[in-house]
Amino acid sequence: MAPRIELKTSPHIKQADSVERIMRTVVLALLPVCAFSVYQFGLSALALMATTTLTCVLTEQLFNRLSGRPSTIGDFSAVITGLLLALTLPPAFPLWMAAVSAFVAIALGKALFGGLGYNPFNPALLGRAFAAAAFPEAASTWTQAGLPERFSELLPSTLAMPFMRPESVDAYTTATPLAEWKFEGGIATDTWALFTGMTPGSAGETSALLILVCGLFLIARNAMNWRVPVAVLGSAALTAGGFYLLDPGHFPSPLFVLFSGGLMLGAFFMASDMSSSPVTPAGIWIYGALIGFLAVIIRFFGGLPEGIMYAILLGNAAVPLIERIAQPRLYGLRRGRSG
Amino acid sequence: MGMLSFLSGRSFPRGITPPGRKAQTRTEPIRRLSFAPRMVLPLTQHFGKPARPLVQRGQEVVRGEPIAEADGWHSVPLHAPVTGSVEGIELMPTARGPKTEAILLRTHPGDSQTVRWAQPQDLGALSRRQLLETIQAAGIVGQGGASFPSHLKFDVPEGRAVDTLVVNGCECEPYLSADHRTMIERTEDVLAGVRLGMQALGAPQAVIGVEDDKPDAIAALEGAIEPGEPIRVGILRAKYPQGSEKMLVRSLLGREVPSGGLPYEVGVVVNNVGTMAQLGYLLPRGEALIERIITVAGPGVERPGNYRVPVGTPLRYLLEEVGFEGDDPSRIILGGPMMGNTVAFLDVPVTKGVSGVLVMPEAAQAGEGREAQPKPCIRCGRCVEVCPVGLNPAELGRLAAKRQYEVMEERFHLNDCFECGCCSYVCPSDIPLVQYFRIAKALNRERAS
Ligand code: SF4
Ligand code: SF4
């Protein structure tokens, strides 16, 4: 018998990095944001995160079983979806609604398309959009940050029974700085408070500073494409700056725009979802610029106080189109004889 | 990346910076490897037609003597690496598997093994064509790995003016340091070769590209260039694949070789420093290529270093001499770890184009070389960010998985991929991208023929 010939082909070395490490790094970067949210909003925020994360992981596992694929929960991407979803919801969001939204995020946002890498939309945002459509009232009821009893008791709506509408508890609810500007016509929050984060908002959209630090950590660990936040924030600042120059009395300053609402979280942690953003650097610039622009336009002219979620979903939808025009420049076109 | 570029040498865009791993050998002076008792000389050690044997079984040969002649212009002759006797001409295994004809020599044990065959010429008096014929007669092929006959490289088509001879001293593959040592220890040979190369091309100037992690080589070359001579050293950033022809031309001269074309189309011919050293040493003496410098390195090699190895030395003998014990051919790479290949058998010889012999650690070492199951592409875009050609490996990989090989070629420039491996190197999902692309190209070629 002829001896077995085994030829290995190049390359014989590989960079020591893996999908798991990238995803673990993202989880690690999200933890401080989550912790801050618990500090602001207490036990309810914690319960919300636990619910969405657990539901996402279980749903992922369920679909792996159904389709006979090996388990993928080890890649941590379902954990990321769960945490991100929790961070976009109001802290007092009823848990049963959160669980349904988390299920939808993984089932419709990811499993349906074939799992990690194939999802055209950011699953967490799809879950969030579902929550806004299915539970409009609960999804836009905001709680004050730093309530004194936040560590000893849950907010009443957190434990609302399934299919019951939570009673509105006006004592706790408040308007976000963005809604204040939009519906009441004024900015009561100073920019520094926005930057550090002790303001009402969804569980994770409040501290611009913290998100910035965590985002920079991700970039330093090569777990995120730095072009995404730069493009989104740059484009948002330019767009907002343009309007501010036209009519400073009506439009808020670009700094307010950058540090309020979910723009920071969206730019660093949502738009940067690899599967649902372009693969080419040129594509990412276009994609990020589009998101930043749309986010500001929706805030200024749409019916909603916050536009980043829909801006990113629209950006996701535009990816195939963007990639059609934004391919890398092929070597071989520069003929110059001097250099 | 890129942000610190103003601090270091020039470069092409993108590419990767794998750990150099050259410390094991870069400071080791070149040593001679002893002569193996039996030499195996395949008639095809170059790109082109096999050489035709000139010797018969039982015949005595002296070191340096021609033992096979070139079969036409697209071929090179072969010379005896040892004084000894011809054992026969037989089918022998090659590194890639299939057997080919080879001349077997038995080395005379008591012989001093000095070169006994030479035909010195007055090179200055030769026409360009005569110089090319002299290069061919010396059996010289590219020492960088491609084994392309050197006289053919210098034989630029009529009407094409070459203004610059580009010399590749990058040695961007990890582990390898043979070119580095050659530039330091054989500086004069390199420069003599560069001058002959310029003469053969009629090129008015030459640029030697060296990466900035070899300051001693840069200093040696710059010190040896005559004042006013139209030869300069171009300092380049240490980055892979800086030494690939097309990237080198871009980095040094800002020119890009057109898709599917050759460097002479932008007025350039590229040669390796190792080839230049052979030219500069052999031609004035009228000798032929019978040995070369090889880096032998890797975990498991007891005496790593740079060796002057007679062409035809069996790999098994070489490995024993450097103190490697083991007989798993799939751990032995000929060339560098990025573009070299493992061998099918240990009983294959070192040929003219082998620049390195690396022993890789057992499979599944930490990080490097890990053989993991491919996972789905997460669209991280890293492969796109490193492809030196400006391809979209993620998209190509997706199409390969769907077997859309024609689309890969027609819309995503598959044929511009030169299989450098950068994309596979960075992919966190362990997708064997280059392997897919090789298969796709092969299938497309098959379909076209
Ligand atoms: S192997 Fe081909 S596709 Fe991959 S990086 Fe190199 S040239 Fe680009
Ligand atoms: S490096 Fe791998 S996972 Fe990342 S985009 Fe390229 S093929 Fe996909």
Q: Say which amino acid occupies B257.
A: V
In terms of average pLDDT, the best of A16-20, A21-25, A67-71 is A21-25
Cα distance between residue A181 and residue A187, in whole Å = 5
Provide the pLDDT for residue B367: 45
Determine the Cα–Cα distance for residues B62 and B78; give it in Å rounded to an integer: 13
Q: Can you tell me the distance from the alpha carbon of B117 to that of B432, in angstroms, rounded to the nearest whole number? A: 49
Q: Indicate the top mutation candidate among B14, B16, B373, B380 to test ligand 2's pocket, ranked by most ligand atoms within 8 A of CB.
A: B380
What is the structure's pLDDT at A2? 47
Q: Best substitution site from A275, A277, A279, A323 to test ligand 2's pocket, by max atoms within 8 Å of Cβ?
A: A279
Token pair, residue A44, equals 């309810």
Q: Please give the share of chain B, as a percent, with pLDDT higher than 70.
A: 96
- ipTM comes to 0.87
CA distances from B28 to B275, B301, B303 (A): 20, 14, 10
Tokens of A295: 């986010």
- Taking 90 as the threshold, does the pLDDT of residue B110 lie above it? no
Give me the mean pLDDT over the B68-81 stretch: 95
Cβ contact B250–A274 (<8 Å): no
Q: What is the pLDDT of residue B7?
A: 54
Residue B212 has pLDDT above 70, yes or no: yes
* Residue A192, pLDDT score: 64
User: Would you say how long chain B is, in residues?
Assistant: 449
- Please tell me the predicted confidence (pLDDT) of residue A179: 67
B residues 396-435 closer than 8 Å to A (CB): 413, 416, 419, 421, 424-426, 428-430, 434-435
- Rounded to the nearest whole angstrom, what is the distance from the C-alpha of residue B242 to the centroid of ligand 2? 22
| pLDDT reading at A225 higher than 50 | yes
- pLDDT (average), residues A310-317: 96
Ligand 1, atom 2, residue with closest C-alpha: B417
pLDDT band at A157 (very low <50, low <70, confident <90, very high): confident
Q: Pick the more confident residue, A150 or A320.
A: A320
List the Cα angle B334/B337/B338 in 5-degree steps: 115
Can you read off the two tokens belonging to residue B185?
A: 């220890």
Residue of chain B with shortest Cα separation from A328: B390
Q: How far is the CA of A185 from the centre of ligand 1 (A)?
A: 55
Minimum CA–CA partner of B97 in chain A: A5
Q: Do B424 and A331 touch (CB under 8 A)?
A: no
Helix (H) / strand (E) containing B430: none
A304 pLDDT tier (thresholds 50, 70, 90): confident
Over residues B107-117, mean pLDDT: 86
The CA-atom distances, in angstroms, between B358 and each of A169, B210, B299, B300, B313 are 72, 22, 9, 10, 16
How many angstroms separate the CA of residue A38 from the nearest CA in chain B? 31
Nearest to A335 among B255, B330, B372 (CB): B255
* B340: nearest Cα among B351, B327, B355, B352: B355
Q: What percent of chain B has pLDDT over 90?
A: 76
For residue A149, the 8-state DSSP code is G
CB pairs under 8 A between A and B: 172
Specify the 3-state DSSP secondary structure of A309: helix
pLDDT band of residue A74 (cuts 50, 70, 90) is: confident
The chain A residue lying nearest B96, using CA atoms, is A7
Look at the alpha carbons of A72, A75, A79, A81 in this order and tell me if their dihedral is positive or negative: negative
How far is the alpha carbon of B51 from chain A, nearest alpha carbon, in Å? 27
Taking only the tens place, the pLDDT of each residue in A104-135 is 999 999 998 888 889 999 999 999 999 999 99
- Using one digit for the tens of pLDDT, what is the confidence trace for B313-359? 999 999 999 988 877 888 899 999 999 988 888 889 999 999 999 99
Distance of CA B306 to CAs B136, B180, B230, B292, B322, Å?
26, 10, 31, 10, 10
pLDDT digits 0-9 by tens, B248-289: 999 999 999 999 899 999 999 999 999 999 999 999 999 999
Statement: residue A188 has pLDDT above 70: no
Starting at the edge strand found earlier in the chain, the sheet holding B60-61 runs: B38-42, B99-107, B84-93, B60-61
Omega before residue B149 within 30° of 0, cis: no
The pLDDT confidence band at residue A8, using thresholds 50, 70 and 90, is confident
pLDDT band at A189 (very low <50, low <70, confident <90, very high): low
Q: Does the bond joining B241 to the residue before it have cis omega, within 30 degrees of 0?
A: yes
A263-277, B25-39, B145-159, B368-382: lowest mean pLDDT where?
B368-382
Q: What DSSP letter does each residue of B123-165 carry, written as one string?
A: GGG--HHHHHHHHHHTT-B-TTTT--BHHHHH-PPTT----EE
- Residue A147 is classified by DSSP as -
Domain range B6-28+154-285, CATH class: alpha beta
pLDDT at A242: 94
Q: Region B356-381: what's the mean pLDDT?
A: 73
**Torsion angle of C-alpha atoms B132, B135, B140, B143, degrees rounded to 10:** -70
Q: Do B381 and A284 touch (CB under 8 A)?
A: yes
The pLDDT of residue B369 is: 46
Ligand found nearest the CA of B391: 1
Beta bridge partners of B90: B102
Residue B427 contacts residue B383 (beta carbons within 8 Å): yes
Predicted confidence band at A207 (pLDDT cuts at 50, 70, 90)? confident
Task: Give the separation between CA B338 and CA B17, rounded to whole angstroms.
Answer: 11
Q: Per-residue DSSP letters for A53-92? A: HHHHHHHHHHHHHHHTPPP-GGG-HHHHHHHHHHHHS-TT
Q: What is the distance between the alpha carbons of residues B386 and A314, in angstroms, rounded to a whole number?
A: 28
Q: What pLDDT digit, counting tens, does each position of B376-431 carry?
A: 999 999 999 999 999 999 999 999 999 999 999 999 999 999 999 999 999 999 99
| Residue, of A260 and B176, whose pLDDT is higher | B176
**In which band, very low, low, confident or very high, does the pLDDT at B366 lie, cut at 50, 70 and 90?**
very low
Lowest-pLDDT choice from A147-161, B207-221, B350-364, B435-449: A147-161
The B356-359 sheet, strands edge to edge: B31-32, B305-310, B291-297, B356-359, B332-334, B341-342
Q: Residue A201: its pLDDT value, please?
A: 64
Q: Cβ contact (<8 Å) for A7 and B425?
A: no
Q: Which residues of A touch B392 (CB under 8 A)?
A: 279-280, 327-328
Q: What is the pLDDT of residue A58?
A: 95
Inter-chain touch B428–A17, beta carbons under 8 Å: yes
Considering chain A, what is the average pLDDT of its residues? 85
A8 vs B283, residue with greater confidence: B283
- pLDDT mean over B174-200: 96
Predicted local confidence at residue A184, as pLDDT? 61
pLDDT higher than 90, residue A71: no
CATH 3.40.50.11540 segments of chain B? 6-28+154-285
Per-residue pLDDT for B148 more than 90? yes
Instruction: Give the model's confidence band at A338: pLDDT under 50 very low, under 70 low, under 90 confident, else very high.
Output: very low
Cα-Cα-Cα-Cα torsion B26, B30, B34, B36, nearest 10 degrees, comes to: 60
Test B255 with A6 for CB contact under 8 angstroms.
no
What pLDDT, on a 0 to 100 scale, did the predictor assign at position B368?
Answer: 47
Please say if the pLDDT value at position B439 is more than 60.
yes
Q: Name the nearest CA neighbour of A291 among A283, A327, A222, A218.
A: A283
Phi and psi dihedrals of B308, rounded to 5? -90, 105
